[in-house]
Amino acid sequence: MKINARKLALRILDDIQNSGDFSHVVINRTLGQYPIEAADRRFISNLVFGILENRIYLDFHIRKFSAQRFSRIHPSVVNILRMGFYQLIFLTKVPESAAVDECVKLAKLIHPKEGSFVNGILRQFIRTGKKVDLPDRKKHPVTYLGIVYSFPEWLVEKWLSQYGFDFTEGLLRASNEVPRLSVRVNLTKTTVASLMEDFSKVGVVAEISEKVPYGIVISDLNHLSIQDLPGFSEGAFAIQDISSMMVGHLVESTSGQTVIDVCAAPGGKTTHFAERVGEKGRVIARDLSEDKLKIIEENVGRLGLKNVLVEPFDATAYDDSLKDLADCVLVDAPCSGLGIIRRKPDIKYNKTPESLLALTDIQSSILEVSSRYVKDGGTLVYSTCTINTDENEAIVQSFLSQHAEFELCPDGMVTLFPHIDHTDGFFIAKMKKSQGAR
């Protein structure tokens, strides 16, 4: 039986709203229940992610064209209207009549009057030439940016105070763009040139990263799934954003070293370091969640790495057996994730100023504990996938002020921004422990 793509998309949107689960979890959970053609799967995913990315903007339109108070509209009807407005505004290849008619049919399943309600709103929007007056960007910059790019005003205001209007607008715009897939070549199995040639043979469009010489950025998969890419099952590459690859690239670990990754899931950095330190070296990869540990083990196994010890451990707890053991300790700390909103649009709606503040205590604790594992002359790396300075520079500066035995390396602290570096938003700080430190 042919799957009704919009009906399934509505079910996913309702589930996300009711369960509170991340969108990618709900999408995978729902689509896994049905035999869905690749084209429908892409349409559903694009529709759901697009609506989530632009939710505040779409809701602004609903409020403008609905005579009924927004809070009184049936929750599923709100999602149907979001779907209708999104198609009419962003999906130019979808005929207006199809977008409206399909939304009306979905609304009628709730109640016939809801079908008329949805039809009236969407038809009125079309009659106006699909135009709506927005707040003045100069007089009301916070409100304007919040609506146009669908970001909560507290976050817009925070970034405006840090970066100014033009920088913030570029950051917001890029955070709503679809990120390109990037992979790290497993140099223990193949070469960059060889993998690029294999990709080219199956019509995959890709280029070598300008930031990391063994990173490949893919712009077109030629309708292949990641698992179907040449070299995937053989472990020729790992899926990892360029920003994340930068950690291993900046640290420059060498053969025979010991590395401890205290918050290792899903294993991208762990496997990167394992490749760098070679068979004579070792990587101790830890995480608290058993499910996450399984993911690390799967990635380690697929890449054919034999020098990784995966074990459960709480990074906030101290392990005396690791004292002064490691040449490098990596603290990829749990964070707000504000740098990966383009991958998980739910983040911008789920975070609050209070939740960001609560994270800093955990981050400081993990960094403090983990620093004790670094041997004299060793390296301590702190990284996050957020661009929130309270979780980044402030944490590092506070740590350094209390630990004279550590100093910032010459290449110091690096922050990557989506609209400038075309990567995830990411922060890296590299610190060195002095010889003979006590």
pLDDT tens digits for 99-131?
A: 999 999 999 999 999 999 999 999 999 999 999
Q: What is the mean pLDDT of the chain?
A: 95
Start-to-end C-alpha separation, the chain: 70
| Region 190-207 average pLDDT | 98
| Region 41-55 average pLDDT | 94
pLDDT at residue number 254: 87
pLDDT at residue number 14: 96
pLDDT at residue number 77: 98
Burial of 209 (0-12, 13-18, 19+ CB in 10 A): buried
On whether the CB atoms of residues 285 and 310 are closer than 8 A, the answer is: yes
Q: How many CA atoms lie within 13 A of 102 on its CB side?
A: 20
How far apart, in whole angstroms, are the C-alpha atoms of residue 319 and residue 371? Answer: 11
Residue 302: pLDDT over 60: yes
Q: Which of 260-264, 356-360, 394-398 has the lowest mean pLDDT?
A: 356-360
pLDDT at residue number 412: 86
Residue 2: pLDDT over 80: no
Verify whether residue 385 is a known catalytic residue: yes
pLDDT confidence bin for 36, thresholds 50/70/90: confident
Enter the tokens of residue 265.
């899931």
* Ramachandran angles phi, psi of 435, nearest 5°: -70, 140
pLDDT confidence bin for 436, thresholds 50/70/90: low
pLDDT at residue number 205: 97
Q: Comparing C-alpha atoms, which of 184, 283, 192 is closest to residue 242?
A: 184
How far apart, in whole angstroms, are the C-alpha atoms of residue 379 and residue 239? Answer: 25
Residue 367 parent element (H or E): helix 353-370
Per the omega criterion (within 30 degrees of 0), is the bond before 179 cis?
no
pTM of the model: 0.92
Residue 435: pLDDT over 80: no
Residue 411: pLDDT over 90: no
Q: Which of 195-209, 293-307, 327-341, 424-438 has the lowest mean pLDDT?
A: 424-438
pLDDT confidence bin for 35, thresholds 50/70/90: confident
pLDDT at residue number 437: 56
List domains and CATH numbers for the chain: 5-127 (1.10.940.10), 141-175 (no CATH), 181-239 (3.30.70.1170), 243-433 (3.40.50.150)
* Residue corresponding to tokens 């499910």: 291
